[in-house]
Chains A and B, each alone.
Chain A
Amino acid sequence: MHPKGDGTTDRPVLVGVEDSSNPLIVLRRTAFPTPGDDGPAFPVAAKAALMGWADEKNLGQDPELVAQVARRRSHALAALEKAGKTVRRVDLTPEWRLAVGLGERANAHEVGLALHGCYGWPQIPGSTLKGATAQWAWEEQVDRDDPESVQRFLDVFGAPLPDWKEEQRRKENGKEDQKGKAAGQEQAEAAERRSAARGRVRFLDALPSGGKVTVTADVMTPHVKPYRDALMSDKAKPEELVPPAEHHQPVPVSFLTVSGGTFTADLVADDTGTADLACAWLKAAVDDIGVGAKTSAGYGYLTANDHRR
């Protein structure tokens, strides 16, 4: 597999990939370095070829396999319902573009996107959906002075493990002022500290459903790169900072987004109450605060609808 100009256009293309090639290889296991004076360089053409393939072939989604996997997922949820769980399914459609997993740059060309661990298709990880929903609910729905309201939140999401650093600090502080403290008071404080608890709702990874999702190569063009690089670097001394100026070359950076199609998010809960609550919160959260990166630039907002069976 190597990039080359195909003669008719200037656009470099990948040779040896197919419609059903797995992005876990194409995006994550390939590099086209050229030796340079300061170590290997990664040519712009190679990344352009990768992005071109991803865009054109929608990251290798095979429509037949997408449908088969979706059918098996429905079957799995039916089995969970039969075993006494409550299932809620929500179709998520990007309002514009979606960029989840930009930071997961597990490849030489630094293309980041959340990919399914076997098929390599774009997905929205369950952890992303759970995190965004929890954030929105905590901000918008929970009255922190009302224990019942907090408990409703904890029923859905669980409570995090106690912070061990905090525990350590308490212990150390405790040694100093232990003399003045009655044993009863100590116990009351311990009881107030929330213990870890498991959430009662499972947020499954959302996969493409109802056909493949559309993958679009996108680009951003940061200006004054040397200035920002220096700002980000720990080593730069104030006097070495490069002042921002318009003579710096703007450098386009391409990345992948999902711009169309539908993912189905599946929630599996222990009871109907938490299922309905989690479902309503998820629908509101993905529309209101969005998921993934660049939400302040309009990426990541989703339209949520009940999944039609």
Chain B
Amino acid sequence: MTTEYLAYLYAESPVHAGAPESLGVLDDPIQRESSTTYPVVWGQSLKGALRQAAREASDSEASGWEREDVIKIFGSEVSAGGDGATTPGLLSVGDAQLVALPVPTLTRTFAWATCPIILGRLARKYRALGRGSIPGLPDQPSDAAAAAGHWDGKQALGPLVVPVSAEGAPANAVRTWAASVGGGVFGDDPVFAPFRKKFSDDLLLVKTEVMGALGTECTEVSTRVQLKQNKTVENGPFQAEYLPAETILAASLTLREPFEKDAEKRRGLHRRHQERLRDLLDGALLRIGGDETLGKGLMWCRLHQAEER
């Protein structure tokens, strides 16, 4: 028996999950999928962040996390010499893929952009979760479709001007998906209510080509310099790329049952692990990626567990 999860991540501050190589003028680009070029947070980066959160929880008694749980769920730590035996963890962590990217606009400050490929992947995550009713996938819109009428007409989205339509089948699909994703990401917390409302009004479905351009152009690029005593430049400028605040990602997680002969004990442990994960992640503010001491990488997490079958 395994338990499937869907984790939504919602950026409170800019997120820098760094890629290994520099790219063009960027000294420090973010991780991207090679096929689509959409931003992504690799499973290994996400798992490290989750393990760190669990490790910190195990330092506090109130959390209910024991060091034993950390090792069982995330696997044993690699020993310094690399010789000691290691055990695999019970949790496998998938890539956190893009769900909706905030793009600057000339009205209402910003909108979230998504596309049929992205929704298709989310639908597969829903399927893995065993969801009964999955909203229908929209066809490629002719340019862009919106849930609300105030987007009707030509709109500036970051560097592009895109005709947006709020009528027809794609617009209906956006409405259904906005309601479904909005509930999953923002929950019922009143602090998030205005953002949930904005998401249902300001989610745009754009065609795949447009999404590609937005995914590369609408990230945040921050230029930093190190100054000498007399305030002239010592090092830099160097440019780091971030996923902007308000970005929404989703990752699939899978929790396996522990290796235990006794069925009763196995189920008990599995239930304990499920509870630990829920306490740690659901509604929590995680720290993911680099530049932590500059306040980057704060992401709200909501965890959705598959129905027990």
Residues of A within 8 A of B127 (CB): none
A301 proximal to B (CB < 8 A): no
Cβ–Cβ contact B285 & A72, under 8 A:
no
B284 within 8 A of A: yes
Q: Which residues of B contact A71 (CB under 8 A)?
A: 191
Contacts of B300 in A (CB 8 A): 76
B102 cross-chain contacts in A, Cβ below 8 A: 118
Q: Is A171's beta carbon under 8 Å from chain B?
A: no
Question: Which A residues are in CB contact (< 8 Å) with B108?
Answer: 20, 62
Interface status of A18 (Cβ within 8 A of chain B): yes
B158 close to A (CB within 8 Å): yes
- Which residues of A, 115-166, contact B by the 8 Å Cβ criterion? 116-120, 125-127, 130-131, 135, 157-158
Residues from chain B with Cβ under 8 Å of A268 in the complex: 295
Judged by DSSP, the binding face of B is: mixed
Q: Which residues of the partner chain A approach B225 to less than 8 Å between Cβ atoms?
A: 103
Given contacts A25-B106, A29-B159, A199-B293, is CB(A118)–CB(B244) below 8 Å?
yes
Write the nearest CB–CB distance from B109 to chain A, whole angstroms.
Answer: 5
How distant is the Cα of A73 from the Cα of B295 in the complex, in angstroms?
A: 12
Query: C-beta contact mask, B201-224 vs A, less than 8 Å → 1, else 0?
Result: 000000000000000000111111
8 Å CB contact of B106 from A21, A158, A205 = A21
CB distance from A150 to the nearest CB of B (A): 17
A21-40 interface bits toward B, Cβ cutoff 8 Å, 1 = contact, 0 = none: 11011100100000000000
Number of A interface residues in the complex (CB < 8 A)? 50
- From 146 to 192 in chain B, residues with beta carbon under 8 angstroms from any chain A beta carbon are 156, 158-159, 189, 191-192
Specify which chain B residues have a CB less than 8 angstroms from the CB of A225 in the assembled complex: none
* Stretch binding the partner chain, chosen from A78-86, A182-190, A236-244, A279-287: A78-86
Chain A hits for B158, CB < 8 A: 24-25, 29
Kindly provide the distance from the CB of A212 to the nearest chain B CB, expressed in whole angstroms. Answer: 12
Interface contact B295-A72, CB-CB below 8 Å: no
Bound state CA distance, A119 and B88, in angstroms? 42
Given contacts A80-B285, A117-B14, contact A29 B156 (CB under 8 A): yes
**Nearest B residue to A204 by beta-carbon distance?**
B295
> In the complex, are the beta carbons of B192 and A83 less than 8 A apart?
no
For the complex formed, measure the closest distance between the CB of A154 and the CB atoms of chain B, giving whole angstroms: 12
Is A266 located at the chain interface by the 8 A CB criterion? yes
Q: Say whether, besides A25-B104, A131-B227, A120 and B242 are in contact (CB < 8 Å).
A: no
| Interface flag for A68 (CB, 8 Å) | yes
| A202→B294 contact, CB < 8 A | yes
Distance (Å) between the CB of A92 and the closest chain B CB? 15
A127 to B284, CA, bound (A): 25
| A248 at the binding interface (Cβ < 8 Å) | no
Shortest distance between the CB of A201 and any CB in chain B (Å): 7
Indicate if the CB atoms of B56 and A84 lie closer than 8 Å: yes
A201 and B295 alpha carbons, distance in the complex (Å) = 9
CA–CA, A80 and B191, complex, Å: 16
Say yes or no for B76: interface residue by CB 8 A criterion: no
B60 at the interface (CB under 8 A from A): yes
Q: How far is the CA of A17 from the CA of B73 in the complex (A)?
A: 52
C-alpha spacing A68/B102, complex, angstroms: 16
Q: How many residues of B contact A (CB 8 A)?
A: 46
Contacting residues of chain B (93-149) with chain A, CB-CB under 8 angstroms: 102, 104-110
Residues A33-70 near B (CB distance < 8 A): 60, 62, 64-65, 68
B244 contact set on A, CB distance < 8 A? 117-118
Name the B residues within 8 Å of A118 (CB-CB): 102, 104, 110, 220, 244-246
| Contact, CB under 8 Å: A18 / B293 | no
User: Which of B56, B104, B189 has the most A CB atoms < 10 Å from its CB?
Assistant: B104
Which residues from 61 to 112 on chain A have a C-beta closer than 8 Å to any C-beta of chain B? 62, 64-65, 68, 71-73, 75-76, 79-80, 83-84, 103-104, 106
- Tell whether B69 is near chain A: CB-to-CB under 8 Å: no
Q: How far is the CB of B108 from chain A (nearest CB, A)?
A: 6
Docked pose: A130 CA to B226 CA in angstroms: 11
Tell me, yes or no, whether A277 is within 8 Å of chain B by CB: no
CB of B38 within 8 Å of the partner chain: no
Q: How far is the CB of A230 from chain B (nearest CB, A)?
A: 20
CA distance A281 to B271 in the complex (A): 47
**Contact partners of B110 in chain A: CB under 8 A:** 22, 118-119
Whether B64 is near chain A, meaning CB under 8 Å from some CB there, is no
Which chain B residues (288-309) contact chain A, with CB distance < 8 Å?
292-296, 298, 300
Interface residues of B in 226-284 (CB under 8 A from A): 226-227, 237, 242, 244-246, 284
B102, B189, B284, B293 — most chain A CB neighbours (10 Å): B293
Interface pair B295/A126, CB less than 8 Å apart: yes
Across the two chains, which residue of chain B brings its CB closest to A135?
A: B227
Q: State whether A120 touches B194 (Cβ < 8 A).
A: no
In the bound complex, residues from chain B placing their C-beta under 8 Å from that of A130 are 293-294
The 11 listed contacts between A and B (C-beta, < 8 Å) are A22-B105, A72-B12, A75-B191, A80-B285, A83-B285, A104-B223, A116-B245, A119-B245, A126-B294, A131-B226, A202-B295
Chain A to chain B: the 10 pairs with minimum beta-carbon distance, closest first: A117-B220, A204-B295, A22-B104, A24-B104, A118-B244, A126-B294, A117-B244, A79-B285, A126-B295, A68-B194
